[in-house]
Amino acid sequence: MRVTADQAFGLLDRITWFNDEPVGSLGNAAHYLLMERAKELGVTVILSGQGADELLCGYLKYWGFYLQSLCQRGAWLSALKAFTELTSQGTALRQFQVSEAKRYLPRMLRPRGIDIRGPRLKEIDASLHIGLGDAGVVGRQHADLAHFSVPAILHWEDRMSMALGREMRVPYLDYRLVTTLLPLAPEWKLREGWSKWIFRKAMEPYLPKEITWRKDKQGFVIPQSEWLKHELHSRVDALLGGDMLAAACGLIDQAALQRRYAAYCRQPSGRGSISTNDILNPIALEVWMRRFESSLRLDA
């Protein structure tokens, strides 16, 4: 199934309606189309892999958390060994991007960006700390499972699937797997330069080596970064240059957002400090406000 940029962007209003909130990614549109196709094929129940990365340290950020925790404990040799193995294995570092990693860094280490907060938000610091914290890697995994990524992802998946009358099942979040794997020390999950190490070892007898020990992690992704810079450039320009409700009620500094978008488009692919979410999130907010304008008190 091929998803075009115009198709995904054109679905923003519709999927926002089903979500009842601003969407987190154009991937929601792709997920909606996938559920649409499942309905056409008569597939009622779909298995999803959600939760596996949070449970088994599958995301690149967990390597950062692990190395940070080793350094905090003074385990410098262990940290050096882990970083050396990670580098030599070539499993994760090539996927590193400053624009994605910056949200996990302490504020003093984050690259300075263009502040797009409007006058009603200018003096409000509502930033959420999603770095390692004081509970260690396992505690940070628990935070993802209970508070951060998993609840939001499950909400979006459930809304997109139920919009087409499909049911999603998430076997990796079975309580027996969670209670067994979550408490394990990170050394069982991050080892020899591999993420999900214990799971890979468990599956080794049953799956081909090229699957079990695959190095390039591939999620359910679409080229939304390139779309925003190229195929959707005129549509985004028109939206950001027109009358924005988010700007009119003081939530967004529209001129600053236009500068941020221009700077984003100048970034080379995969480089720079402005992430796709830095552009898409205010767009999603605007789409949501327009969709539910009649229910909002914009003058409050």
CB-count burial class (<10 Å; 0-12, 13-18, 19+) for 179:
exposed
Strands 167-169, 45-47: pairing is parallel
d(CA 107, CA 129): 9
- Residue 270: per-residue pLDDT: 75
d(CA 41, CA 166): 11
Q: Is the pLDDT confidence value at 146 over 90?
A: yes
The angle at the Cα of 62, spanning 83 to 153, to the nearest 5 degrees, equals: 155
Question: 27-113+133-215 adopts what CATH topology?
Answer: Rossmann fold (3.40.50)
d(CA 105, CA 108): 8
Amino acid at 272: G
CA-nearest of 49, 86, 52, 50 to 66 is: 86
Helices H / strands E in the chain, number of each: 17, 2
H/E element holding 46? strand 45-47
Domain boundaries, the chain: 1-8+222-295, 27-113+133-215
Q: How confident is the model at residue 35 (pLDDT cuts 50, 70, 90)?
A: very high
Q: What is the per-residue DSSP string for 52-112?
A: HHHHHT-SHHHHHHHHHHHHHTT-HHHHHHHHHHHHHHTSSGGG--HHHHGGGS-GGGSPP
Least confident of 84-88, 165-169, 190-194, 202-206: 84-88
pLDDT, tens only, 181-240: 999 999 999 999 999 999 999 999 999 999 999 887 766 678 888 999 999 999 999 999
pTM of the model: 0.89
Name the maximum alpha-carbon separation found in the chain: 62
Both tokens assigned to 2: 């091929």
Least confident of 58-67, 87-96, 110-119: 87-96
In 3-state terms, what secondary structure has residue 167? strand
d(CA 289, CA 21): 9
C-beta separation of 200 from 194 below 8 A: yes
Distances in Å between the Cα of 29 and the Cα atoms of 9, 12, 26, 63, 182 are 8, 7, 5, 30, 31
Rounded percentage of the chain residues whose pLDDT exceeds 70:
95
